[in-house]
Amino acid sequence: METVLGVIGSPISHSLSPIMHKAAYDELGLDYTYHAFHVESNELKAAIDGVKGLGLKGLNVTIPHKVSVIQYLDHIDPLAKEIGAVNTIVNDGGTLIGYNTDGEGYVKSLINRLGTSLTNRRVLIIGAGGASKAVALSLAKSGVETIGITNRTLSKAEGLSLICSPYTQSEAMTLGIAQARLTEFDIIINTTSIGMTPDIEKMPISLEKLSKGSFVSDLIYNPFQTRFLCEAEKKGANIMNGVDMFVYQGALAFEKWFDKEAPIKVMKDTVLKNLGGVK
Ligand code: ATR
């Protein structure tokens, strides 16, 4: 079973992780399989015990288990500990190690898309939940000049801003203030689920004041281009949907399991093809 990997979550049937990872194994001639395992919360401990019992090589972890899985692992990587969530488990000879590749995956996808480092960038993050925390902490550690965090519940934005403050200048603000101060930021990231199918008409904030040439990104990839990104593009912004982050978090997980560079292009092409052939 040491040739078996997979992802656990609920719901899980629509996960693109199995086809993405299988494409990577095929590309590199690796004789491994990757499965989607439907695991409910009351079965999580048994599922993780099964990783050791069956000798699985590793797992990805998705909603709703990223936080609760931590208690069943042997070691947690410091960044995952700080984020408070695990999305990747490595079975190292019976010792289960938890990592979080979501935030680093986002940062890598952003640097790759911008083609430059993040130094001097002023970033506005919309949302202060789990996804936001991974992205905000990783960005804070990657040299951005400042991070603004805005959220419907201001106290959560304040809490996250405090967590980022040892690493970069950070500030929490209401949604209204963020909208009014939009021109102060050159990268704007939606980490909330607002605009996701089926509520595709919704926007997390108004982009009325967006400056031309800004970079606007949405972690959502269903729909492929949210209304938020469509409006940003109309205003002359460069845009990035959630596919890149998804691919890079998977690539970083691959590298933890196999200790070799992931075939990112093949992985991304496979995901795009399965999202309907959009490039
Ligand atoms: P995830 O792990 O995907 O980040 P989460 O931890 O539940 O999910 O966080 C969801 C985020 O989306 C939060 O920032 C939430 O705002 P609140 O903290 O105020 O709840 C935001 N969010 C979700 N639905 C929203 C809505 N309809 N309007 C405004 N914000 C919303």
pLDDT, tens only, 170-226: 999 999 999 999 999 999 999 999 999 999 999 999 999 999 999 999 999 999 999
Q: Does residue 104 register a pLDDT over 50?
A: yes
Give the per-residue pLDDT at 67. Answer: 94
Q: Which atom of ligand 1 is nearest to the CA of 156?
A: 18
Distance of CA 218 from the midpoint of ligand 1 (Å): 14
Ligand 1: atom nearest CA of 132 is 4
Lookup result for tokens 């490039």:
279
Pocket test for ligand 1, best of 100, 173, 193 (most atoms within 8 A of CB): 193
Q: Quote the CATH superfamily of domain 4-100+244-275.
A: Leucine Dehydrogenase, chain A, domain 1 (3.40.50.10860)
pTM of the model: 0.95
Is 60 in contact with 253 (CB distance < 8 Å)? yes
What is the Cα–Cα distance from 269 to 254, expressed in whole angstroms?
16
Q: Is the pLDDT score of 135 beyond 60?
A: yes
Between CA 155 and CA 72 the distance in angstroms is 30
Which is catalytic among the residues 45, 52, 57, 66? 66
CA atoms of 48 and 57, how far apart (whole Å): 12
Q: Is 234 a catalytic residue?
A: no
Q: Is residue 92 within a helix (H) or strand (E), and if so which, with residue range?
A: strand 88-92
pLDDT band at 2 (very low <50, low <70, confident <90, very high): confident
Q: Which two tokens stand for residue 10?
A: 């609920």
| CA 202–ligand 1 middle distance (angstroms) | 13
Q: What is the model's pLDDT at position 279?
A: 46
Atom of ligand 1 nearest to the CA of 133: 4
Under 8 Å between Cβ of 21 and 34: yes
The backbone region for 255, taken as left when phi is positive above 0, alpha when psi lies in -120 to 50, beta otherwise, is: alpha
Q: Which pLDDT band, with edges at 50, 70 and 90, does 277 fall under? A: low
pLDDT band at 1 (very low <50, low <70, confident <90, very high): low
For residue 45, what pLDDT band results from cuts at 50, 70 and 90? very high
Amino acid residing at 155: S
pLDDT tens, residue by residue, 236-266: 999 999 999 999 999 999 999 999 999 999 9
Topology match between the domains 4-100+244-275 and 103-241: yes
**Residue ranges of domains in the chain:** 4-100+244-275, 103-241
What is the pLDDT, as a whole number, of residue 276?
Answer: 73
Give the CATH fold of the 103-241 domain: Rossmann fold (3.40.50)
Range 100-125 average pLDDT: 96
Per-state percent for the chain, helix, strand, coil, to nearest 5: 40, 20, 40
